[in-house]
Amino acid sequence: MAVVIAALLPVFILIVLGIVLKRSLMRLDTQWHGLEQLTYFVLFPMLLIQTLVKADLSKVPVAGVGGALLLSAFAMSLLCLALRPVLSRLGIDGPAFTSIFQGATRWQTFVGLSVAANMFGDVGLALASVAMVAIIPLVNVFSVAVLAHYASPEKRSVRAIVMTVIRNPLIWGCAIGLAVNLMHLPLPKLWHEVADALSRSSLAIGLLVTGAGLHLEGLLRPSLGAAIGVVFKLVLMPALALALGAWFGLSGSSLAIVAICAAVPTSPSAYVLARQMGGDAPLLAQIITLQTIFAAITMPVAIALAA
């Protein structure tokens, strides 16, 4: 447990530093928006490319990790949809349901990769990157479809949903890195020097941006929807992923990576999508903030159970 906490501590310190900077030296939203765009479109895809280019995928259980996380995300999505009538009777309307759905199924990439790298180095980073390939397309398609059905005044076509996924720069980063790796394409030394420099800065900046994006207002009186979103993501999702990981025969660091990816909070990009498509954005902001706070407690437990 001490090793797990030591790996998580730098991650949450950087998130707290982002909160402090947002309320002191960098108060303008435009400052953080620029950093977020830089991280999302340049630094983070470069980290994924470089990690997967260097990874020896023959020595890691790619299929098991990807399969466990893919099935757990799919199962959680089905569970949310199955519980829709129950949630409706509890007073949770369509837009609020979409926020619970996103809060239960999406994951915070910056936190997941940072913890994986801190605990298991390049191997952990490679496995977590592979997990992204499995999870991101599915949860993006499901999130857009659920928002279009339950919240959006304008229904999106299948083509629009597919294009949303295709344009995701993280998907492209994973795809390029895997392609170069599997085809054994040689890259010049200059590429590695530039890519390594960009990659090193991505996780720290990403965690600062995560902290700056948290909404601390109203946390003392969380809504029922926020509480449900926290329990679904931080308790049920890791439990599903660990059970499926064990079913796939994973153990040790591989099962721990599954636990890390399943136990991280929801991505702040879900908040942006909720605003764009008519979801309950304030509720989702509360869910993300509460998840980030409570993940400091639940993540060590989930990872320890995988050990």
Instruction: Report the alpha-carbon distance of residue 148 to residue 276 in Å, rounded.
Output: 11
**Residue type for 155, please?**
K
Structure tokens belonging to residue 278:
């008519």
Cα 8 to Cα 13, 28, 69, 301: the distances in Å are 9, 28, 21, 12
What residue type is assigned to position 72 of the chain?
S
pTM, rounded to two decimals: 0.83
**How far is 132 from 113, CA to CA, in rounded Å?**
10
Amino acid found at 36: E
Closest CA to 35 of 266, 271, 207, 289: 207
Domains of the chain by range and CATH?
2-306 (1.20.1530.20)
The pLDDT of residue 159 is: 78
**Distances from the Cα of 153 to the Cαs of 50, 84, 99, 150, in angstroms?**
41, 19, 16, 9
User: What pLDDT sits at residue 152?
Assistant: 66
pLDDT, block means (10 residues), the chain with 307 residues: 74 89 91 87 87 78 89 96 95 94 89 88 84 79 85 69 74 86 90 90 85 77 91 97 95 92 87 80 88 91 89
Cα–Cα distance for residue pair 202/200, rounded to 1 Å: 6
Count of CA atoms in the C-beta half-sphere (13 A) of 180:
18
265 with 12: CB under 8 angstroms?
no
**pLDDT value at residue 245:** 95
